[in-house]
Amino acid sequence: MAKIIPFKAIRPTRDKAYLVSSMPAYTYKRHLLEAKLESNPYTFLHVINPEYREDDKTQPNSRERFEKVKDKFNEFREAGTFIQDTENSFYIYRQITPTNTYVGLICGISVDDYLNGNIKVHEHTLTQREETFKLYLDVCQFNAEPVLLTYKDDDRINEIINKYLNTRSEYEFCTTHKIEQSLWLINDKEDIKTITEAFGGIDNIYIADGHHRSASSVLYAQSKRAQNPNYNPNDPFNFFLSYLIPESKLKIVEYNRAVKSLNEHSSTSFLEKVAEHFKVEKCTQQFTPTQGHNFSMYLEGTWYSLTAKKGSYDETNIVSDLDAEILSNNILEPILGIKDLKTDNRIAFVEGSKGTKGLEQIVDNEEAVVSFGLFPVSIDQLKAVADAKGIMPPKSTWIEPKMRSGLTIYDFKD
């Protein structure tokens, strides 16, 4: 049973929402980040990068840096860029891209759902990153980017959300990436009650994106509980900011690979080794995998179709049967010598949204020697791995929608 709560979001005024909201800072190349900071005094990137134009710099991810983040956030509030709602609300957030529409619910969700396994994970988290994010929460006391969670469609929830979609939104604007953003407030007590009760009947919630943010929120809550064993279970620190989207609205895109060397193989000897575990077919044009266990490969200006042979993978093991694992176990590690995808600098990851063109470009520009396209992981595969308490290979999925920062901020001091 999932426990969710409405909250009083701190959010930009209607006239500044399009200026404040931003992609996470780490997604911007340095020159683009500087251009955003230079040209837009309202962007949330100023909060995350509080030392812009300052000579006195602090260490990244330090308490001193996070103190400056907190101060900059308070500056935005004092200047009237942010307001805080006076009523507890759920927030409907919609993205319309050139190819898809994503609709879900922004709310707080209980850390106990994470601790008791109702919220299921499919990735390992790094202790150091967890501790860094926990320190951020300790100092800043707010959460600005929701964790992306998914659940099985529920008619009651969908009915209420669809009712609001037919009304005027609080925000509606388009980004330079041609993505329309809209936000609605749900503060009707009956609607809140219906949604809360509906989620109370949902046993399994799956993390789609944000494993480290959710894990650090849990660490933060546990530390607060340890400080006060008589804590109120409804205190804000017992919940973390989430965007809950039904499975039917979630999109999982493939996460492709590119490798910088053939590990002393010639192209001929490399193809011979690949053929031991794959049916190799040369293509006359760009090729995209058509089903699971089928891969595309781009090498020396030529496209190939690779189909894994029976016996090259374990069909009875949900993780071993994943295409990312098949590629690692049969090509990346034994032929190319890449044993750790997280640390080996010879491998790069290319989001599937860049398509075959992206795989061609990285090789044609001599940033890699060979690239591989994978078939997307299905939602059923992701759930099966999580249900089995398995861990997916690194960078197995590129999941959309990608959330923006600064639209609805969850205050732990509320």
Residue in the block written with tokens 């496209």: 303
Residue 212: both structure tokens together = 């480290």
Reported as a pLDDT band with limits 50, 70 and 90, residue 28 is: confident
Q: What is the pLDDT of residue 71?
A: 96
Burial class (CB in 10 A: 0-12, 13-18, 19+), 52: middle
Residue 126 in this model has a pLDDT that exceeds 90: no
**Taking a C-beta distance cutoff of 8 angstroms, is the pair 363, 371 a contact?**
yes
- Does the pLDDT value for residue 286 go beyond 70? yes
Confidence band, pLDDT 50/70/90 cuts, at residue 101: very high
Angle ∠(157,244,9) on CA atoms, nearest 5 = 100
Calpha distance 352→374 (Å, rounded): 8
Handedness of CA 325, 326, 328, 334 (dihedral sign): positive
Are 197 and 239 in contact by the 8 Å Cβ rule? The answer is no
Residue 328 sits at φ, ψ, to 5 deg, of -65, -45
Cα gap 270→276, rounded to integer Å: 10
Q: Has residue 260 got a pLDDT over 90?
A: yes
pLDDT at 325 over 70: yes
| Alpha carbon distance 2, 278 (integer Å) | 44
- Flag the least confident range among 131-135, 228-232, 341-345: 341-345
pLDDT of 217 over the 90 cut = yes
d(CA 179, CA 400): 12
Cis peptide before 393 (omega within 30 of 0): no
Over residues 221-235, mean pLDDT: 95
pLDDT at 414 over 70: no
- Show the DSSP H helices in 8-62 as ranges: 17-20, 30-39, 45-48
The token pair at 289 is: 């995998």
3-state SS, residue 352: helix
339 phi and psi, to 5 degrees?
-100, -30
Q: Are 9 and 87 in contact (CB under 8 A)?
A: no
The domain locations on the chain are 4-251+401-411, 253-395
Q: What is the mean pLDDT of the chain?
A: 95
Specify whether domain 253-395 bears CATH 3.30.1760.10. yes
Residues 339-363 pLDDT 10s: 999 889 999 999 888 999 999 999 9
What DSSP state is assigned to residue 278?
Answer: E
The pLDDT score that the predictor gives to residue 45 is: 96
Q: What are phi and psi of 212, to 5 degrees?
A: -70, -40
Omega before 41 within 30 of 0, i.e. cis: no
Angle at 244 between CA 240 and CA 250, to 5 degrees: 140
C-alpha 402/C-alpha 408 separation (Å) is 15
